[in-house]
Chain A
Amino acid sequence: MSELQTELRQAQQPLLEVKDLRTHFRTERGLVRAVDGVSLTLDRGKCLGIVGESGSGKTVLSRSLMGLLPHSNTITSGSVKFEGKEILGLPAKQMRRLWGREMSMVFQNPMTSLNPLMKIGQQIAEPLNLHLDMSHADARATAERLLRDVRIPEASRRLDQYPHELSGGMRQRAMIAIALACGPTLLFADEPTTALDVTVQAQILQLIGEQRRDRNMSVVLVTHDLGVVAGHTDEIAVMYGGKLVEKAPTSVLFAHMKMPYTMSLMRSIPKLEDPSHTRLATIPGRPPDLVHPPKGCRFAPRCAYARDKCLTEEPPLRQAEDPNHSYACWYPVGSPEFNQREAELNNGAVPVTLEAR
């Protein structure tokens, strides 16, 4: 096959193919099923948002995909294919060729994720030295260019500064610069804006989006905030209790969401149009115990629309009207049972979750 044909072939196949990924941890309490059967695909240049609460398994998912979890006490199964090649379970030695080069990660807290005792320039230059074998001078020049790409002012001065000398937003930009250094094809952004001010959040997301388009890079954006994924993703996957409960192209999800959990997430975002002193809508209860997950649908104990079937049988992932939209729910939004309960609630019935019953 000619090079052109190989490239074409590569451009057409999905960058990331995940089938039935499970990540379990052995702990004193038992086996924690942090990720319990997740399947998804990601094409080149696209952005996938993974949304869920704390404890939903979204961070474990992103780290499992990248292979960063320590080997001891971790059991993974399923398949993760990157550019057609299986990477799940590969030893660290082989993964290191990919890390920083083909795939990299931006972490949540830039203050603790950057080495406090190393200059910014050195931290950017490290993967350049390692993977691209750059000379000291070249690496420094590239690092400076990268800092400018991520819009850090006075780039050359910043190279010799330490992380604590930069503001929170700048630190996050620096981390993005580090992640982009060797031009990866896949970027994981694990709650990149959670630790930042609201004003800075938008800038960072915009930056990531720009870089994605300029470099034709795929991005996996992990967050608990539906608002974050709304404007910046092509597809959204919603996680709950270690399982994928809904997946759809972004516009489809917001227009036709099926799973009541997704709807609750939507409703819990405070909106500017709401009158002042509107009560924040919350989802009652707590995330499920991942060692002994509930039988049936994992969200059922907290779902205002749940019925008996939800507690005993786990709903499979089904396709919705749009072929790219799948969801796992017995009585999704729009179904007769859902509408009936919705009417009851609107008439003032107090929502009683199955947990309370």
Chain B
Amino acid sequence: MTTEAIAAPEVAAPPAPGEAAVKKTLGLAFWICIGWLVLMVLVAVLAPHLPIPDPKANFTKPGQAGPSHAPSAAHWFGTDKDARDVFSRTVYGARVSLTVGFIAIAFGMLVGGTLGILAGFFRGWCDRIFSFMFLVLLSFPSLVLAIMLTALLDRKLLTISMILGVLAVAPVGRLARATTMQYADREFVMAARSLGAKNTRLIIRELLPNVAIPMSALALLGMAVAIVAEGGLAFLGLSVEHSITWGGMIQLGSDSSRTLQHQPWIAFFPIGVLFLTVFALNFAGDRVRTYFDVKEISL
């Protein structure tokens, strides 16, 4: 059936398996995920104004054996070992995770995208140097690189975000470079050039819109990865200091087997929220990716 359908509008062959689900719509599930994400953002932003208990306060109940107690009407997610309300801590934890995730991916796209576009457009030395840089960055497993950098720099919110952003630079850069090279060879660029367009103008007006599409399709996925990375760092105790983070909460809830066994809610509620958020980002990002038909990146 290889050379059959040159002129025929029909290739008389049944549809291949695995292709059934390539729909051109985003779907209901997509919007549900977006809804969840919007909810998370709203809750995180409005946290101080919400009618939830103070995340730092201790809520010991008189007559209770230990400070921590199970979920109840007063404390939806229960309280942790220092009798702090887990629900409101989770809400506040969202602020760090979402902020870090957003800044990280924004930074990564900005820097990585710029370097990648420049490398793909100008080729030659520019390409060699930037590609080498990407390669160096990619020689470290991402968590290892992140850990190393946190060892050297401080632990402020912005720093941590930028560290994770650095992790994103190489994959984003390579994608931007590949896409740029793909488009730079096309006729419309040559046409613009023949009309006398200068390089900068070419890059901004012709290439950028085309490269931006696949890159932005990956923004959601990249953010998911950043949030997971931040969670990992927080779990290890290396994230933003003096802040409530999901990773930190999970660590507190699981560092002793006894805690995990008798007070599972301390760890599992943050895990649940983290998972739902990351899942929503992954799912939505995946739908966008198939919609725009882009190849995968991974950190």
Contacts and interface: CB of A to CB of B under 8 A. Distances in A.
Interface of A: 25-28, 32, 34, 53-55, 57, 59-60, 69-70, 72-74, 108-109, 112, 191, 194-195, 286-287, 289-291
25 contacts: A25-B14, A27-B14, A28-B15, A34-B10, A53-B8, A54-B4, A55-B4, A55-B10, A55-B12, A59-B12, A60-B12, A72-B17, A73-B14, A74-B14, A108-B2, A109-B2, A109-B3, A112-B2, A194-B3, A195-B3, A286-B7, A286-B9, A287-B7, A289-B9, A291-B10
Contacts of B1: 59
B33 to A, nearest CB: 26
B56 to A, nearest CB: 58
B3 A55 contact: no
Contact of A108 (B3, B8, B9, B14): B3
Contacts of A28: 15
Contacts of B4: 54-55, 59
B65 interface: no
Contacts of B5: 54-55
Contact of B10 (A109, A194, A289): A289
A54 B8 contact: yes
A72 B7 contact: no
B14 A55 contact: no
Nearest to B16: A70
Query: Which 5 residue pairs of A and B lie closest in terms of their CB atoms, listed nearest first?
Result: A55-B8, A34-B12, A290-B10, A73-B14, A287-B8
A34 B5 CA distance: 13
Given A286-B7, A286-B8, 18 more contacts: A27-B15, A28-B15, A32-B12, A54-B6, A55-B12, A59-B1, A70-B14, A72-B17, A73-B15, A109-B2, A109-B3, A191-B3, A194-B3, A195-B3, A287-B9, A289-B10, A290-B12, A291-B10
B27 to A, nearest CB: 17
Interface residues of B, number: 16
Contacts of A57: 12
Contacts of B17: 72
A205 to B, nearest CB: 18
A239 to B, nearest CB: 11
B13 interface: yes
Nearest to B7: A286
Interface of B: 1-15, 17
A353 to B, nearest CB: 16
A109 B17 CA distance: 22
Contacts of B11: 55
Nearest to A112: B2
Grouping DSSP codes into helix (H, G, I), strand (E, B) and loop, the A interface class, with mixed when no group exceeds half, is loop
B3 A25 contact: no
A59 B9 CA distance: 16
Contacts of B14: 25-27, 69-70, 72-74
Contacts of B13: 25, 60
A53 B9 CA distance: 13
A32 B10 contact: yes
A51 B157 CA distance: 73
A171 to B, nearest CB: 14
A15 to B, nearest CB: 25
Contacts of B3: 54, 108-109, 191, 194-195
Contacts of A194: 3
Contacts of A72: 14, 17
Contacts of B10: 32, 34, 55, 287, 289-291
A60 B1 CA distance: 9
A107 B15 CA distance: 20
Nearest to A289: B9
A113 B196 CA distance: 50
Nearest to A74: B14
Contact of B7 (A55, A60, A73, A108): A55
Nearest to A108: B2
Contacts of A287: 7-10
Contacts of A60: 12-13
Nearest to B4: A54
Contacts of A53: 7-8
Nearest to A60: B12
Contacts of A73: 14-15
A244 B9 CA distance: 20
B4 to A, nearest CB: 5
Nearest to A26: B14
